[in-house]
Every structure is written in C-alpha cells, then in structure tokens.
Amino acid sequence: MRFVLAVVGGLLALGLGGMAPAHAQARVAPDAFVGYDAARGLVISPSGRYIALIRREAVGDVLVVLDRETRALRPIQRAIAGAAENGMQIDFVEFKSDERIVFSYSYRVPVTEQAGSANRTRRRQQATFIRVSHVRSSGVDGSSPIVLYDPQDQNIPRYAQADIVSLLPNDPDHVLLLTPLSQVWRVNVNTGEHTTVEDRAGNAIGYIVDSTGTPVLRQDVLGFGRGFVWYRRGPGQSQWTEIARFRGASGANSGPTFEGVGPALQPGHVFVLARREGQDTSGLYVYDTATGQYVETVQQNPEFDISNAIRDLENNRILAACWWAYRWTCNPQDPDFGVLWERLNRTMGENVNVRLISRAREDGSLWLIETSGPQDLGTFHLYDTTADRVSRLVQSRPSIQAAQLPTKRVVRYTASDGMQLWGYLWLPPGVTDARNLPLIVVPHGGPEGRDIWGFDPFATSFSSQGYAVFQPNFRGGGGFGRRFVEAGHRQWGQRMQQDVADGTRHLIQAGIADANRICIAGWSYGGYVAFTATVENADLFKCSMAGAGVSDLIEMLDWVRFGDDDELISGGGGGVQSIAYQYWTEAIGEPGRDRAMLERYSAARNADRVAIPLLIIHGDRDRTVPVEQSEIMEQAMRRAGKPVRFVRLEDTDHYFTPDQGAAWRTVMTESLAFFNQHIGPGVPPPQP
C-alpha cells in the first residue's frame, strides 16, 4: 500500500493508492476489520505546515511527516527487522514546535511466571508480556534524534507505559513525561536532559497539570487495574489528598465519578468530569485542587454523562463539552467556535461522528478532524476555517468501500416491565427493506459499557456478511447516569437478560427478524449474556457464541476475592475489603447471602438445561475474566453430554487491540462459520 499526493480544491491532500471502485463487487472479508489501521494518530504542527501520522506497512509502523508546502512525505521512524513479531508499534506522535516532534514506540517482552487456576488447585508455567516504551524527539525531517526516555530495566509494571503529561505550550524546550515507574520528568526535547518533578515509587498512571505546568491531580491504579484513585494537591501544598476511588474491573465503570481533563485558567484550577453529590449524571466542571471545591459548572446534562471536551490548549479554555447520545454530540461553549462547529457538522452530515483531533496552534484556522460512522471506518480531513473548505486527507481502511459496509438505525422498544428502551439495528449492505432477516444479537460488555454510533468489531463484521445485528441498550449500561447503571445491579441473568430478550422479540414482532434464524454473540459481560441465553433463552436463540464470558458467578467472585497465588498474573485477590470485590458483590450479589440466586443464573451450574449449540472463545492471557471461566463451562457441557466447541486463543488478553489481529481474525472467522452452520448465511451481497 502506498501513499499518493494530490491537489484537491487547491489544497494538498494525502490519500492512499489502490482504492477499489465506488461500487462493491463482493462482500468485504470477514476479518477485514482486525489489526492495524493503514493510517492513524494524525496531528498538525503549530503553524499548520506539517502533518504527522503513523502509517502501517507489512513490516510494522512507520512515522511519516508531510510538508504541505513542498509536498514532501518523509519517514522519520521506520519499523526494524522483527518488529511485527515482537508487537512493535508507534504509540503516539506530537509536535512540540514546527521544528521538533516527540514520539513513542513500544514492543512486547515475554515474562514467564507461575500462575494458578481459578480454584487454585493446580499450577502451570505461563508466559505473559509487558510492553516496553521508548520516547524520542527529532527534527521534523528526522534529523537530530534525541532519546527522552529509555527503560533502564524490564522490571516495570504491566499496566504502565511512558507517556506525555503535558507539552508545556509556554515552554519552548521542555515537556513533562511520565515514566512507567511513576516518575514525572521535565525533559529538554533538544538535549534529552531531565529533572525529576515527581519522584513517586507508587502506582501513579497519570497526572493533570494546572496553567503553570504544575501537577495538581494524580491518578493511581489499584489492584493491578481493578480500581483507581484520584488525588489532589494545590499550589504550594506538599501532601496529596484523596478525592475519589473508582471501583470495579478495568473499564467497568464507564460513567466517570471523577476524572481529570486539563488545566483551567487559574493556577490550581483544572477541568474535571465528575458526578457531584446529588447528581445522577457526570458533568464538566472547574475544580479547585487546593480546596477540593467545584467552582464552576461548564456543562451538565440530565440524560447523559458528559464524557469529553474540546479544549483550547494554549489558552486553557473549553471550546465544547461532548457526550454520547445516540450519536456523538458536542455542545459549543465558545460562540465563535460554535459557528464553525455547526457549519462543519452540517457539511459532514448527520450519519457520521465529527471529532476535532488537532488544531494549528498559532491562529487556530486549520483543524484536523476525524469522521466515523457505520459506513465510515475513520476518515481524516483538513478543515480550513478561513476558506470554509474541507479536504479529505486519508482513510483508516481505504480498501473497504462504503457500499461494502452495513447501515445502522436506532430502534425503540418497550421492555416487558414497561420501561422504554432502545438499541442499534445494523442492516446488511444493500438492504433497505428490513424484513424477515437472519439476526445476530450482540449485547455489549462491561456491563457498564455501551454501544456507540459507528464501528463495532462484532456488529460490523457480522452485518457485512449478510446478517442483521441488534445491539440492545439494556439496563446496567453506562453513559446514561447512575440510576440506569444501578438498575442493573443484582440483575445478572434477570432484568438485564430480559431487556436483551425483549428487544429481540420486538424485532420478531415487527417483522424485521426471522424467528427461526436468530443467534446471540457477546464478549466479556456480553459473553455472560450469551452463556446464560443457552439456558434462559433457548426458545429465542438457535445458537450462542460466548467470548471471554463469565459462566460461574460464584467462581468468578471467588477469583476476584482470592485471586491466584501470583496476583501479578491473575489481577485478582485482595479479600473481602478489596475495591474489586466490593464492586462486584454490589453489582452481582454476595455468595453467602445470595448463593441460590448466583447458582440459578450461572450457566455452568445449569449445563444440563442448555438447549442450543454453544461456541466458546477465550484468550489464555485474560486478566479481566480468567480463561478458567470458559474451561469450567466446557467441562460442564461435556459432563452433561451437550455439544460444545471451545477455541482457546494463544497469547491473547481480553481486549480488541490491533496487535492481537491474528487472534481476532480467528474470533471472526470461527463465529461466522458457526452462525452459517446453524442459521444459514445472510442475504446475497449487493449487485453492482
């Protein structure tokens, strides 16, 4: 794949060669959505002259810089021999100035340690990996490379990588860098010399600075990713004071209780996302780190958690507050920005999300934006606000055409207890009359996650192959306030499961889904729903694919409470007082008091009642849901004489990441073969 340069509307545009014709000749390959994007990580220089991006080639990542004046495209950092084998990737690139860039690359290093099983009855040698970071700076032409951070040894935490805390826009020579050992360095990008700003030996994974560049918020990880703590320290104060604890497994609490965003106008003041006392949803506020008081409300929404902000990084102002409604939504806070933002969104259309990812800092007239949606896998554009002109630069996956991708709509339905709910319905490419379609139901993970408007690994892959896909927004999901989350507490297998089934029945009654051709598939909590459906919803589904799911609630809680003998491997442990165990007992139930309920809604303890075919897929390096949960279910199925297939993914953790593309290729191809076997292939592809 090669880059070509073209002049579009008088502006230099960056595109990819070898693009397919506008109409789709055939379906896209089912595994076309895994692995690395062809281009990612675009940023624009302060003057707007240069654009940097990470390009994926056969041997690995290449960092390139485009000079918009000369049209030269120069590689700055190339992949080295063996890079693809050790998972080498470029993690980020930033412009410090028009003369120098800062970037990081990392690679995986194997570590072999002992690990036990979920019930701690056996031991085995288990190889896992840590990702080792390196940070460099160089001229925009690749000259004068400087080492900013190199790991001194491999004894670093698995959850931490080197990262930029602040580019220090008012300091021409330095950046603040967080090392994996929780130190903060003030590093000279021209010489590599550094001084230590924070010398903490604990588990800090992030800092937020104020307008003076002083760290005033700190985030620590607890229990190897099972929880987080935020601390504050105002100007002139010496001690860190705890603000809030974030309880639950990694990514489980999607609606932030407290999260730092960036510096505000006054020293010691920062923008934060927080759910204040008495509020159901999270808002955007100005927070005084010296007193712990919220001094200004920037944006609050009674229906949705505010989850992000567009910031003026040089002047420490909020340009817009953003959240996920049905689609990505941003409410401008600055009138001038608002005029441009509304104009841009009208131009791009309502079927895509629009994100501002980088601005030319000197006058703010050039914006790098990214669009995404059901039929847009990620496209980068340059918006010239002065000329009011948008030019497409590059697509994340240029070989896939919009005609090969499914469409998407919002479907509203009434649950069996009368609550009004909704979900996303994906329709196969070329299908406009949604009637009597084979359907795959895909409940999201978390369970405090949520689905979004745009790409989803399962929904996009399955629907592109001819299946309708339904993503129900069931109770317990995040992004809609704490009451909606807590409506799912202690409802695993019950009300949450019924919400999924109710949405599926609605599609049958509406004539959209063929009642005889419906399967369910899920990952993580969605995998739990898929496991449970084999017992509770066998009248509705004809087959189930359960990925990285929980099959035995009591064993899962036991693992969270006690963990393996080596917590570094398992991520479990901590006892009844651990934040992870407290969260999960609140969300699921307590084994002593609620044992009968937990047994009733654990598929592995009811395998004799399973009445539909089951495919199980799980990674053997999963520290969020241990692979033993799938092993337990497979063993229970075989004892009960039930048909089951278990695909164990080698060297694979819990998450859909590009460096695990080979494993996810297996997930998609195995799943689709399973669906084709049990409910038949989808509708034929569209004809040109």
SS3 readout for 323-346: EECCCEEEEECCHHHHHHHHHHHH
Q: What is the pLDDT of residues 89-134, one digit of tens each?
A: 899 999 999 999 999 998 877 665 544 433 333 333 445 666 788 9
Has residue 237 been placed in a domain? yes
Has residue 529 been placed in a domain? yes
How is residue 388 written in tokens? 């009011």
- Among 578, 601, 624, identify where a domain stops: 601
- In a shared domain, residues 504 and 581: no
Has residue 508 been placed in a domain? yes
Of 522, 526, 491, 519, nearest in space to 504 by CA = 519
3-state secondary structure of 639: helix
pLDDT at 106: 87
Q: Which amino acid is at 163?
A: D
- In a shared domain, residues 525 and 576: no
CA separation for the pair 95, 400 (Å, rounded) = 30
pLDDT at 109: 73
How is residue 600 written in tokens? 């009733």
- Among 288, 306, 332, identify where a domain stops: 332
- In a shared domain, residues 539 and 419: yes
- In a shared domain, residues 228 and 295: yes
544: left (phi over 0), alpha (psi -120 to 50) or beta: beta
Has residue 146 been placed in a domain? no
Has residue 540 been placed in a domain? yes
Q: Name the stretches of the chain with pLDDT < 50.
A: 1-24, 114-126, 249-251, 254-255, 564-573, 683-688
DSSP character at residue 574: -
Helix (H) or strand (E) holding 286: strand 283-288
Q: How many domains does the chain have?
A: 3
pLDDT at 623: 85
Q: What is the pLDDT of residues 217-267, one digit of tens each?
A: 999 887 655 678 899 999 999 999 999 887 654 445 544 589 999 999 999
- In a shared domain, residues 535 and 616: yes
Has residue 309 been placed in a domain? yes
CA separation for the pair 574, 562 (Å, rounded) = 6
Of 14, 140, 26, nearest in space to 464 by CA = 26
Query: How many CB atoms neighbour CB 257 within 10 A?
Result: 18
pTM: 0.90
- In a shared domain, residues 546 and 628: yes
- In a shared domain, residues 253 and 301: yes
pLDDT at 201: 58
Give the domain extent around 627. Answer: 406-552+609-679
- In a shared domain, residues 307 and 413: no
- In a shared domain, residues 302 and 430: no
Has residue 81 been placed in a domain? no
3-state secondary structure of 500: helix
pLDDT at 80: 63
CA separation for the pair 239, 270 (Å, rounded) = 18
CA separation for the pair 527, 519 (Å, rounded) = 13
Q: Residue 421 sits in a domain of what CATH number? A: 3.40.50.1820
- In a shared domain, residues 537 and 558: no
Has residue 472 been placed in a domain? yes
- In a shared domain, residues 642 and 527: yes
Q: How large is the greatest C-alpha to C-alpha distance in the chain, in angstroms?
A: 71
Helix (H) or strand (E) holding 90: strand 89-95
Q: Which residues contact 519 (CB under 8 A, 6 or more apart)?
A: 439, 440, 441, 541, 542, 543, 544, 545, 674, 675, 678, 679
Q: DSSP characters for 650-682?
A: TT--SS--GGGHHHHHHHHHHHHHHHHHHH---
247 neighbors 227 (Cβ within 8 angstroms): yes
- Among 297, 332, 367, identify where a domain stops: 332
- In a shared domain, residues 654 and 558: no
